[in-house]
A and B are shown apart, each in its own frame.
Chain A
Amino acid sequence: MATGDLALGQEQGASSARQRVINDFSIIVATVNGSGSQSANSVLLKSIFGMGVPVSGKNLFPSNIAGLPTWYTIRASKDDYVARKRDSEVLVSLNPETAREDMLALPSGGVAIYEENFNLKQYRSDVVSYPVPFDKLTAAVCPEAKLRKLVKNMVFVGVVAQLMKIDLDIVENAVRKQFSKKQKVFDLNFGAAKAGYDYAQTTFTKQDPYSIERMDGTVGKIIIDGNAACGMGAVFAGVTVIAWYPITPSTSLIEAATDMLKKFRITSDGKATFAVVQAEDELAAIGMVLGAGWAGARSMTSTSGPGISLMAEFAGLGYFAEIPGVIFDVQRTGPATGMPTRTSQADLLSTAFLSHGDTKHVVLLPGSVSECFDFSLAAFDLTERLQTPVFVLTDLDLGMNNWMSEPFAYPEKPLDRGKVLTADDLNRLGGFARYRDVDGDAIGWRTLPGTNHPKAAYFTRGSGHNDAAQYTEKPEDYIALMERLSRKFESARKLVPGPVTVKDGTSKIGLLAFGTTDFALRESLDQIKSEYGQSVDYMRVRAYPFAHEIHDFVASHERVYVVEQNRDAQLASLLKLDLPGDQVVKLRSILHYNGLPIDALTITEEFATKEGL
């Protein structure tokens, strides 16, 4: 059987060899959830990174503990494209359940590395097949039967490395890093990778065009997921209170932050400068965050769609009573439970207006892991400066996948703790009114509970209040309060991160996007240029309320396509509320919402169709 596969492969090899594909292809690894393939996938990703080739990885996993199919895609791209690629050229097939379907999905000329008894060659004669006796190879290097399921994954890493020309010493480094300090575990895993490598070397003649060659595209770069980056930002922002409730895909944000807090925030006498509380639900989590924010602590929670819905009532209280707190929303698909392990950008409207009444919130929209770090830092300053909850909206794609980045820069500015009056200030002033706009920015001064002054106290309430924080139902008091909150939102407009623009000033057409759409969109800009010879301007929105530059961008273009990952064109809708009437008609939408991260071709094709190219 194997011989037959090889024979066919050779025929193809002859044609493929003419068009070698270096550092520009995707690998898809099909396994079973819970089989321990995560480490192997990570080692393979880091091996390509170690070869100096820009790389990104995406985990397409089920909402399940064990048993359901899971896929991991690794994209190597000499051009630094890190978005999802629609097709993967190289399949590693270890899941019999999906093997046939995965084989059929390969593009013509693709590569299949599979457990030999899957007999996949019968389905495709236009694909290069490399059948591997994974179980036999694993058994030989792993005497302990119960570990074989895990170790088998490392065998495929060796096979792929050999076939794709990844250096074995690079793989060795990656394995060492993955299993740092555990020599026995390293030996077992690297032994398995080497067995795969040796098997491929002695058995196969390379038939396919795909390989990795050393380049210097990753020098000095780091690999990190967005959740860890957000958590890191919080730790370096000096967060002191975290209250949370577990939910996919945000859980690892808290876990990462907690690990770092334990490492960096225990005093020499063993005491904690932080509190992390797993609350009974998201209602309690946000309640604790606001309680702590009210007491003057830097507090945060992290959640996803269903948690955001539960936090609605408290979010309104935070807005109305003007209490700081940072809320991370790592978006998954909705409505309802939706697809918990799939990505989307469909919480933009619900976070921007979370709660009943006339409520609106500051929402930061990071578009990379380094912005996850920076915006997480910024969120804590903004929430205390503006005295209102601040949301940081990422998504599963950014949060749970590994991304390359320049190393994060240590914050240069000291923490901005906002307007807080001390007992000394009160001695000097003789008193204060909590919600009085004394500085013209619509932000009052607050005191913290425990401030040792007889005039420090005020009454915080979610009911109608005047500027001295007293209960009122007077129409004029209510209007004054609501108008001041609107003016405060205008203050926020000037303080939030502004947009990022890519333009040459000649195009009449603009594209607008936010968050992870950026990766695919930048690749699409190149495609539009190379395929259609057209250059298009692009602005990435990084926060709500929208900076004035966004209005200018729309005003200076004839047509503006808003590209986003939801069904209801939420960014476009929010823009329509903000833009003057004559500008609204310029907006069109390119939407993607199948649960997978958006890819460049989807944008390019849709754009070309809409533009009649």
Chain B
Amino acid sequence: MATATPSPKLNHIGLPVLEYRGGKSTLCAGCGHNAISERIIDAMFEMGVQPERVIKMSGIGCSSKSPAYFMSRSHSFNSVHGRMPSVTTGALLGNHTVSALGVSGDGDTASIGVGQFVHLLRRNLPMIYIIEDNGVYGLTKGQFSATADLGSKLKTGVVNDLPAIDTCALAIQLGATFVGRSFSGDKKQLLAMLKAAISHNGTVMLDVISPCVTFNDHEGSTKSYKFLQENDEPINEIGFVPSFEDIEVDYDSGQVYDVEMHDGSNLRLRKLLEDYDPTDKANAVRTLMEAQQNEEVLTGVFYIDTQKPTFIDLLGLVDEPLSTLPESLTRPPKSALEGLMKSLQ
């Protein structure tokens, strides 16, 4: 039967969403990570990002496998456990004209990788760093990670008696310039947050609670779908208007916080928490610490700074990628060596 297939919707660079898809996921059905992969695909498609201009970086774990499940047209590097930050740093030094999207997990970030994670934040390396946070080690079958909340319970009944590392508070304190938390089940918030992240120049640190249906979705877990649905408290509602959409934005009506992004897009944060100022670092950290004490899960964009120079800015590099500079620019002339030899005689 010959029916005309409707032509697929194209984004503003002329690609269909299909061109942003990846391989078939081998994660468990219902895993929060799959939903995050879907939102990444949507955000990249809607923002019209050229897939070839993106590098997908990851460490080791369930989360770190996920770059295989989106954007097959982008180069990808599944590195070693907890070391994605250094590999990404190197890759961006080699070519600072590409955009880096890193996917990590709570173990990969807050346990084995915490050393590299904190230094990534200090450097404000221009990249999006997503923690697919389920508070548990999946591939090794269900041990606590360092983001598991105090008092949360494993399936086996073991209770976590160590405090959680709040990766968002850490990121704000140490120098990331776009910090937010979302929930894999909140499509709208996560998509808006990712789109804003794409338009930011600096370290974007997004902690996305992503329930593990196999090892950490039971009663007593603080990273379960049920717990999040009941306890997720957004501090702001995220509105995002990309630079290429010709919509007039009327600024500041008191209850919203407007941010002009690096690429000219507009990020509008509608305040749900009274007087919350996402540019006030100390207040952001205090708010998160109080929430932890009160056993609340705050979500939203906690902190943003669009002015701080990135690590690449600080290095004062040439505009072209270092990787493909011609020999004439990278090998000093014969006279340079002769001069050096003379000075050593």
The residues of A with any CB-CB pair to B shorter than 8 Å are 220-224, 232, 235-241, 243, 260, 263-265, 267, 270-275, 277, 279-281, 283-299, 313-314, 317, 407-408, 410-411, 414-415, 447-454, 456-463, 471
| The one of A238, A271, A296 that contacts B330, using a Cβ cutoff of 8 Å | A238
**Assuming the A-B contacts A222-B344, A283-B86, A415-B327, are A294 and B77 also in contact, with contact meaning beta carbons closer than 8 angstroms in the complex?**
yes
Cβ contact within 8 Å between B116 and A457: no
Which candidate, B2-10, B88-96, B151-159, is the interface stretch facing chain A?
B88-96
Contact digits for B304-323, partner A, Cβ 8 Å, 1 yes 0 no: 00000000000111110111
Cβ contact within 8 Å between B52 and A454: yes
Residue B331 is within 8 A (CB to CB) of chain A in the complex: yes
Give the docked Cα–Cα distance between A50 and B67 (Å): 63
Which candidate, B210-218, B220-228, B268-276, B335-343, is the interface stretch facing chain A?
B335-343
Residue B87 is within 8 A (CB to CB) of chain A in the complex: yes
Chain A residues with CB under 8 A of B116: 280, 283-284, 287
What are 15 of the A-B contact pairs (CB < 8 Å)?
A: A220-B345, A240-B93, A240-B325, A267-B318, A267-B329, A271-B318, A284-B89, A290-B87, A291-B94, A450-B52, A451-B52, A454-B51, A457-B75, A458-B75, A460-B77
Interface residues of B in 51-107 (CB under 8 A from A): 51-53, 55, 67-68, 72-80, 83, 85-95, 97-98
Residue B141 is within 8 A (CB to CB) of chain A in the complex: no
Please indicate which of the listed interface residues B67, B324, B344 has the most CB atoms of chain A within 10 Å of its own CB.
Answer: B344
Cβ contact within 8 Å between A223 and B78: no
Chain B residues with CB under 8 A of A221: 345
Cβ contact within 8 Å between A295 and B90: yes
Cβ contact within 8 Å between B115 and A450: no
| The one of B87, B332, B338 that contacts A291, using a Cβ cutoff of 8 Å | B87
| The one of A291, A407, A462 that contacts B78, using a Cβ cutoff of 8 Å | A462
Interface residues of B in 34-66 (CB under 8 A from A): 50-53, 55
Cβ contact within 8 Å between A232 and B340: yes
Cβ contact within 8 Å between B95 and A450: yes
| The one of A235, A273, A285 that contacts B329, using a Cβ cutoff of 8 Å | A273
Chain A residues with CB under 8 A of B86: 243, 279, 283-288, 291
**What residue in chain B is nearest A453 (Cβ atoms)?**
B52
**What residue in chain A is nearest B26 (Cβ atoms)?**
A471
Give the docked Cα–Cα distance between A297 and B324 (Å): 7
Give the docked Cα–Cα distance between A356 and B336 (Å): 42
A51 to chain B, nearest CB (A): 14
**What residue in chain B is nearest A240 (Cβ atoms)?**
B322
Interface residues of B in 255-291 (CB under 8 A from A): none
Give the docked Cα–Cα distance between A265 and B87 (Å): 24
**What residue in chain B is nearest A274 (Cβ atoms)?**
B322
B200 to chain A, nearest CB (A): 20
**What residue in chain B is nearest A448 (Cβ atoms)?**
B323
A192 to chain B, nearest CB (A): 24
Give the docked Cα–Cα distance between A430 and B336 (Å): 43
Cβ contact within 8 Å between A471 and B68: yes
B23 to chain A, nearest CB (A): 8
Chain A residues with CB under 8 A of B67: 459
Cβ contact within 8 Å between A272 and B325: no
Residue B119 is within 8 A (CB to CB) of chain A in the complex: yes
Chain B residues with CB under 8 A of A286: 86
Cβ contact within 8 Å between B83 and A295: no
**Assuming the A-B contacts A293-B90, A462-B80, are A449 and B119 also in contact, with contact meaning beta carbons closer than 8 angstroms in the complex?**
no
Cβ contact within 8 Å between B341 and A222: yes
Cβ contact within 8 Å between A460 and B78: yes
Give the docked Cα–Cα distance between A235 and B93 (Å): 17
Chain B residues with CB under 8 A of A471: 68
Size range of the interface on B? 35 or more
Not counting A241-B94, A271-B319, a sample of 16 additional A-B residue pairs whose C-beta atoms are within 8 angstroms of each other reads: A223-B344, A239-B330, A243-B86, A267-B329, A273-B322, A280-B116, A287-B83, A292-B90, A292-B94, A295-B98, A314-B80, A450-B55, A451-B52, A454-B52, A456-B75, A461-B77
Chain B residues with CB under 8 A of A274: 322
Cβ contact within 8 Å between A415 and B80: no
Chain B residues with CB under 8 A of A222: 341, 344-345
Give the docked Cα–Cα distance between A408 and B340 (Å): 9
Give the docked Cα–Cα distance between A73 and B98 (Å): 52
Give the docked Cα–Cα distance between A234 and B95 (Å): 19
Chain A residues with CB under 8 A of B19: 454
Cβ contact within 8 Å between B79 and A297: no
**What residue in chain B is nearest A271 (Cβ atoms)?**
B318
Contact digits for B183-223, partner A, Cβ 8 Å, 1 yes 0 no: 00000000000000000000000000000000000000000
| The one of A236, A285, A297, A457 that contacts B76, using a Cβ cutoff of 8 Å | A457
Give the docked Cα–Cα distance between A277 and B311 (Å): 10
Give the docked Cα–Cα distance between A85 and B265 (Å): 71
Give the docked Cα–Cα distance between A530 and B116 (Å): 59
**Assuming the A-B contacts A314-B83, A449-B95, are A240 and B323 also in contact, with contact meaning beta carbons closer than 8 angstroms in the complex?**
yes
**Assuming the A-B contacts A222-B345, A272-B317, A457-B76, are A295 and B323 also in contact, with contact meaning beta carbons closer than 8 angstroms in the complex?**
yes
Chain A residues with CB under 8 A of B90: 241, 243, 287-295, 297, 299
A170 to chain B, nearest CB (A): 14
Cβ contact within 8 Å between B330 and A449: no
Please indicate which of the listed interface residues B76, B77, B116, B316 has the most CB atoms of chain A within 10 Å of its own CB.
Answer: B77
Cβ contact within 8 Å between B83 and A457: no
Cβ contact within 8 Å between A240 and B79: no
**What residue in chain B is nearest A232 (Cβ atoms)?**
B340
| The one of B73, B89, B327 that contacts A288, using a Cβ cutoff of 8 Å | B89
Cβ contact within 8 Å between A265 and B322: no
Cβ contact within 8 Å between B79 and A462: yes
Cβ contact within 8 Å between A265 and B95: no
Cβ contact within 8 Å between B77 and A298: no
Chain B residues with CB under 8 A of A462: 78-80
Cβ contact within 8 Å between A450 and B97: yes
Give the docked Cα–Cα distance between A460 and B67 (Å): 11
Give the docked Cα–Cα distance between A275 and B325 (Å): 13
| The one of A240, A280, A295, A297 that contacts B119, using a Cβ cutoff of 8 Å | A280
**What residue in chain A is nearest B71 (Cβ atoms)?**
A457
Give the docked Cα–Cα distance between A458 and B55 (Å): 10
Chain B residues with CB under 8 A of A260: 332, 340
**Assuming the A-B contacts A222-B345, A287-B83, are A296 and B77 also in contact, with contact meaning beta carbons closer than 8 angstroms in the complex?**
no
A449 to chain B, nearest CB (A): 4
Chain B residues with CB under 8 A of A456: 52, 75
**What residue in chain B is nearest A298 (Cβ atoms)?**
B330
Cβ contact within 8 Å between B77 and A284: no
Chain A residues with CB under 8 A of B74: 457
Give the docked Cα–Cα distance between A451 and B90 (Å): 17
Cβ contact within 8 Å between A407 and B341: yes
Cβ contact within 8 Å between A240 and B52: no
Interface residues of B in 94-137 (CB under 8 A from A): 94-95, 97-98, 115-116, 119
**Assuming the A-B contacts A224-B344, A290-B90, A448-B323, are A317 and B52 also in contact, with contact meaning beta carbons closer than 8 angstroms in the complex?**
no
Chain A residues with CB under 8 A of B337: 232, 236, 408, 410
Chain A residues with CB under 8 A of B318: 267, 271-273
**What residue in chain A is nearest B315 (Cβ atoms)?**
A275
Give the docked Cα–Cα distance between A295 and B98 (Å): 10
Please indicate which of the listed interface residues A243, A273, A285 has the most CB atoms of chain B within 10 Å of its own CB.
Answer: A273
A326 to chain B, nearest CB (A): 13
Chain B residues with CB under 8 A of A313: 80, 83
The 3 closest A-B pairs by CB, nearest first: A291-B90, A287-B86, A295-B94
Give the docked Cα–Cα distance between A409 and B177 (Å): 48
Give the docked Cα–Cα distance between A277 and B89 (Å): 10
Cβ contact within 8 Å between B330 and A292: no
